[in-house]
Copies of this chain bind each other. A is one copy, B any other.
Amino acid sequence: MTTDHAAERDLVLTRLIDAPREKVFRAWTDPEVLTRWFAPAPWTVPRAELDVRPGGASLVVMRSPEGEEFPNRGVYLEVVPNERLVVTDAYIEAWEPAQKPFMTLILTFEEEGGATRYTARARHWTPEDRAAHEAMGFHEGWGKCADQLAQVVATL
């Protein structure tokens, strides 16, 4: 993908987290751990089911402060333990199309001076969807979740 394409369609969050990458990867792949940080407080995650393998389904239910629940479904496309996870919402299971393919999430976990360089790249199908996601508060929401992620990883 050229830089131009990436700039048009990707939203990126990156953080250096003071923990080995095995723990950061676990926070993304162990459902019990994921529920503790995945939703920006005061939102919560009452339930997560993660079948972490290429073609496996991911379901994360988010609950608003008012108690309304929002299921997020996706399918893993690529799984490299402790290094890389790719998941898309274009499918709700293998290979049932979602109503609207919105994004592919590319997560990388790199060793950097004893810590973990954690990068979440949300790659959208269109520049319009990227803009909508940014307007919905991508940077604030994912930033808050990254703080929560770092806190939870410190307890593992």
Contacts and interface: CB of A to CB of B under 8 A. Distances in A.
A125 B104 contact: no
A137 to B, nearest CB: 22
Given A1-B96, A5-B96, A97-B123, A77 B55 contact: yes
A95 B90 contact: no
B101 A106 contact: no
A104 to B, nearest CB: 5
A15 B54 CA distance: 29
User: Is the interface on chain A under 10, 10 to 19, 20 to 34, or 35 or more residues?
Assistant: 20 to 34
A17 interface: no
Interface string A32-74: 0000000000000000000000110000000000000000000
A154 interface: no
Interface in A63-113: 77-78, 86, 88, 90-91, 94-98, 100-101, 104, 106
A23 interface: no
Given A54-B54, A90-B90, A77 B97 contact: no
Nearest to A95: B104
Interface of A: 1, 5, 9, 54-55, 77-78, 86, 88, 90-91, 94-98, 100-101, 104, 106, 123-125
23 contacts: A1-B96, A5-B96, A9-B97, A54-B54, A54-B55, A54-B77, A54-B78, A55-B77, A55-B78, A77-B94, A78-B94, A78-B95, A90-B90, A91-B104, A95-B104, A95-B123, A96-B123, A97-B101, A97-B104, A97-B123, A97-B125, A98-B125, A101-B101
